[in-house]
Amino acid sequence: MNEEFYVGYLDHAPPAMARFVRRWVAAAVVVLLAWLAVIAGQQSPMGQGRFEFGIERVFEGLFLAEPLPLLRVAAPDGVGTNYVVVGLGKHGVPDVLRQYHGRRIRFRGSLIERDGTLMAEWNVPDSLEVLSPAPERDSEMEEIVMGDAHVAGELVDTKCFLGVMRPATGKVHRACAIRCLSGGVPPGLLVQREDGHAVVVMLVSGVGNVPWNVSWAGRQVKVRGVLVRRGETLILKAAEAALLGAGG
Amino acid sequence: MSLVYRAIDWNRQKRVYDLIAWGIAGAGLATWVVTTLVRHPNVTAETLVIRASAWSAITLLHVILAIGPLARLDARFLPLLYNRRHLGVTMFVLALVHAVVATFQFHALGDESPLVSLWTAYGSDAALWRQAVEDWVHVPFEPFGVVALIILLFMAATSHDFWLRHLGAVFWKSLHLCVYLAYGLVLAHVALGYLQSERGIAPAAALGAGFIGLATLHGLAARQERRVDREIHALEQDGYVPVCRVDGVIEGRGRVVVAAGRRLAVWLHHGRWFATSNVCRHQGGPLGEGRIIDGCITCPWHGWNYQPEDGCSPPPFQEIIETHEVRVEAAQVWVRSLPSPLRTRQSGALADAAEAAAGSKPRVDDCGRGGACPSPPRERADS
C-alpha cells in the first residue's frame, strides 16, 4: 500500500509522488509538443501574395468603375498597369469613388499584390483628389472580347486572395469571403490550371442580376460567360453560375 | 491551547503548478509558431495567433480531461488534479484569444455585425438545416465553437470556490461536467472547419487518437469504479450491513465500501471504527481514499477536513457530512445503512482484539462466491 498521501495546501508533495508526477509530466510535454509540431508542419500551403498593411502609397491614374473598379496607372515608359480598387476592411470601392468613372484621380492607400495582379486599398478617405474635370479615355483600357468561356473553380474574394489573408481559401475562410463579397469586394474564380498553378479570374456579372450567391464563397462554382480583357486584366462576364457538387 | 487558521494563498505547490502549466502552454504556442514559420514563412500573424492558440487550447483540453481518470486509476496523479482548474482557466484564455482574433479576422470590418455574422454568414437558418441534411461538410463550424466557448466561459468564471459555495456542490459539479459537452462541440468545430480545409492527415489522426485515448482512460476508470460497486452485500439485518473485515483498514486510513447501494467511507481512528459519507462537500471527492491527518478526515482531492466522530469540519468551517453507526463483530465491520442525524456524535466501535485475530472466521468478502456469511451483530459493539 502506498504510504504517501498528497495534500495540496502543504508546501511540498511527498517525494516519491513528486518524482512520479515529474516524470509523467516531462514525458507528456515531449509527446504533446511533438503532436503540435507534426500538426503545424502538415498545414497546407498558406498561399502567396502580400499586403502592405500600414504602409501608405500614392496611387494616381485613370479610374474605371465598371465593370470592375480599376485604376490604370501610367508608368514612365508609357506602359500602364492596372490596380483593382477596393475599400477599407471587407468593403469594395465606395460609391463616392464610383462617381468619378473615367476621371483621373489620386489617393493614398496600401498595396496588395499576388503573382503580378495588383490591388489598391483606398484606406485614407480624405486623400482623394480628382485630377481631370471631365471623363477621359484610354485606348489600352478598351474592352477586348476573348470569347465564350466555361470555367469552374472556387469562388473567392479577391482582396483576401491577393494577399490580405494567408490562407484565403477553403472552409475556414468561407465566412470571411462571404462578408467580403457581401461588402462589395470583387469576386474571383480560383481556377486550377493543368500545370498545377492556380490563377484567379476576376468575375463580374454579365447580365442584369448577379448570377451567383455570395454564400457560395469558398465553394466550387461553375460559370458560363464571356471572357474579356481590359489592359492586362482578364475579366469573366458571367451569364450563368451554379454550385458544383452535392448539396448545391 | 489555541489554533491559528491561515488562508491558503498561492503556496509553493500552487506556484510550481501554475508556472509549469503556463510554461507548457507557452511551449505549445512557441512550438506551433516556430514550426509554422519554418514550413510556411508567408503565413500572416493573424493566422499564426488563431491556429497556435486553438491547437494549444485543444491540447490542453485533452490533458485536463485525462487528469480525472488518471487520478482514479493511480493516486500518484492526484497532484495534477489538485489545481486542475488553473489548467482550465489557462485553456479558456487560449480559446478566448483564438475566438476574439478569429472573429475579428473573419467577421469584422464588414457589412454585418461580427457577432451576427458568426451565426448567419452562411445563410438563413432553414437553409442551414437543409444543407446539414444534404451535405454535412458545408455545415457552418463557427456556432459549435461559440457554444463551446460560452460553456468554457461559465466554467472559468465559476472556477473559484466562492461560486462552488454559492451555487452548491451538485449544481457546480454538473456545470463543470459540461466540459465533456464543450469537448464534443470543439471536435465538431474542428472537424467541420479546419479539417475541411487541410489536406494533411495529422490533425485528424491526432484528434482521433486523443478521443480514443480519453475514451479508454475513462472506460478503465469506470471499470475500476464498478469493481468497488460490485462489492454489494445483501446481508442487511437490523439495519446493519457488513462492509469489510477489521484487517481491511489500517490505523489512520479510510476505505470505500458499499452499503445498501451507497458508497460510504469507513475509518479506523485511534483504535475505533467510524463510518461517514464517501462524498466530500467540496467537489464530491472520494473521502474513503483519504487519510486522517491531525484527527480529521482529509479528502484526497483538495484536502477538505471533517471530524470522523460527528462529520463536522473543524471550526470555523461549517461543512458537514453524514455519519453512520458502526458495529464490530466476528472481526467484521458492520455499518448501519441509514445515516444518523447530522452532527450526531459517534463514539466509534472498538475493535475486539480477540475477534480481530480470529482470521479463520468466514469472510464477508466471500459472500456470493460460495463462502459462508457471518451472523448479524447481536448488540452494538460501541455501546
Per DSSP (E only), the strands in A37-143 are 50-51, 57-64, 70-74, 80-86, 104-114, 117-121, 129-130
Residue A124 Rama label (left phi>0; alpha psi -120 to 50; beta): beta
Residue A225 has pLDDT above 60, yes or no: yes
Strands of the sheet containing B291-293, edge to edge, are: B291-293, B296-298, B305-306
The burial class, CB within 10 Å (0-12 / 13-18 / 19+), for A26 is exposed
Residues in chain A: 248
- Read off the pLDDT band of B372 (50, 70, 90): very low
Computed over every residue of chain B, the mean pLDDT equals: 86
CATH 2.40.50.140 in chain A: give the residue spans: 50-139
d(CA B219, CA B372): 33
Is there a contact between A175 and B28 if contact means CB atoms under 8 Å apart? no
Percent of chain B with pLDDT over 70: 85
Q: Judge: A8–B82 Cβ closer than 8 Å, yes or no.
A: yes
Taking only the tens place, the pLDDT of each residue in A16-66 is: 999 999 999 999 999 999 999 999 999 999 988 999 999 999 999 999 999
Which of A36, A180, A214 to mutate: most B Cβ within 10 Å?
Answer: A36
pLDDT tens-digit map of B135-193: 888 889 999 999 999 999 999 999 988 898 889 888 999 999 999 999 999 999 999 99
Nearest one of A30, A28, A25, A93 to A63, comparing CA atoms? A93
Nearest in space to A218 (alpha carbons), one of A156, A133, A143: A156
Contact A174, A220 (CB under 8 A): no
DSSP conformation class of A163: I
Look at residue B6 and tell me whether its pLDDT is greater than 60.
Answer: no
DSSP 3-state of B7 = coil
Report the alpha-carbon distance of residue B167 to residue A83 in Å, rounded.
61
CB pairs under 8 A between A and B: 190
> Residue B195 and residue B338: Cα distance in Å, rounded?
54
Of A115, A103, A192, A106, the C-alpha closest to A154 is: A192
Cα→Cα distances B211→B65, B66, B150, B183, B217, Å: 10, 10, 22, 10, 10
- Helix (H, G, I), strand (E, B), or coil: what is residue B275? strand
What's the confidence (pLDDT) of residue B350? 87
**Distance, CA of B174 to CA of A29 (rounded, Å):** 30
User: By three-state DSSP, how is residue B266 classified?
Assistant: strand
DSSP annotation of A133: S
In whole angstroms, what is the distance from residue A31 CA to residue A37 CA? 10
Chain A interface includes B113 (CB < 8 A): no
Per the CB < 8 A criterion, the answer to whether A32 and B327 are in contact is no
Q: Which of A2-11, A25-34, B36-45, B323-332 has the lowest mean pLDDT?
A: A2-11
A50-139 placed in CATH 2.40.50.140: yes
| Structure confidence at residue B234 (pLDDT) | 57
Q: How far is CA B321 from CA B158, B163, B264, B284, B342, in A?
A: 23, 20, 11, 11, 7
Tell me the ipTM for this assembly. 0.94
Q: Which of A1, A11, A20 minimises the CB distance to B13?
A: A11
Instruction: Find out whether B108 and B64 touch, Cβ atoms under 8 Å.
Output: no
Helix locations, chain B, DSSP H: 12-39, 45-73, 78-82, 84-107, 114-120, 125-134, 142-157, 161-167, 169-177, 179-192, 194-197, 202-229, 353-357
pLDDT, one tens digit per residue, over B11-33 is 888 899 999 999 999 999 999 99
Fill in the DSSP letter of residue A140. G
In the prediction, which pLDDT does B76 show? Answer: 94
Rounded to 10 deg, the angle between the B45-73 and B179-192 helix axes is 140
Contact A25 B140 (CB under 8 A): no
Interface test with A, best of B9, B47, B118 (most A CBs within 10 A): B47
Q: Flag whether pLDDT at B369 surpasses 50.
A: no
- Residue B235: per-residue pLDDT: 65
Residue B43 in this model has a pLDDT that exceeds 70? yes
- A-chain CB neighbours of B52 within 8 Å are 40
CATH 2.40.50 fits A144-243, yes or no: yes
